[in-house]
Amino acid sequence: MKQAFLVFLGGGIGSVLRFLISKPLNPLFHNFFFGTFLVNIIGCLLIGLFLGLSAKGNVLSHNNTLFLATGFCGGFTTFSAFAFEKHTYLKNGELLNLAIYMISSIGIGVLAVILGLWIARHIH
């Protein structure tokens, strides 16, 4: 039960933080959901860092990993918003924006996870 509460608490904090970042940033760039993009990339970096630190065995406990990676990152990042925004591009016939956003989100997201793992490996 404690572990479920940690995931719940982390997810709530992540969700609120995502809202506070995405809401003001999404309208900044015409036809580019910058806030969602930013939280997803930051979330990829953080989950790589958290899971990398967890793999070290003595940096993050299992409960800390549940709170940070499963809860916080799960609530902070948002695949559902990502998918809806892609639908918006399709509906508006903005295929170039769709391709740029999808490729950059996935590509930079994977690179951010790798960077987070690399950082975790080099923390002493």
Residue 29's SS3 state is: strand
Cβ-contact 68, 59 below 8 angstroms:
no
How far the first Cα of the chain sits from its last, in Å, is 32
Give the pLDDT score at 82: 80
Give the pLDDT score at 29: 85
State yes or no: 77 annotated in a binding site: yes
Instruction: For residue range 25-37, list pLDDT tens digits in order.
Output: 999 988 788 999 9
Structure tokens at 83: 């998918």
Taking the CA atoms of 79, 84, 87 and 88 in sequence, report the sign of the dihedral they define. negative
Residue 93's SS3 state is: coil
Residue-range domain boundaries for the chain: 2-121
Residue 13's pLDDT band (boundaries 50, 70, 90)? Answer: very high
Whether the per-residue pLDDT at 84 is higher than 80: the answer is no
Residues 6+ apart with CB under 8 A from 53: 59, 60, 120, 123
Give the pLDDT score at 23: 93
Q: What is the pTM of this model?
A: 0.82
State yes or no: 78 annotated in a binding site: no
Percent of the chain at pLDDT exceeding 90? 78
Q: What is the mean pLDDT of residues 66-87?
A: 88
CA distance 10 to 7: 5
Q: What is the mean pLDDT of residues 73-88?
A: 84
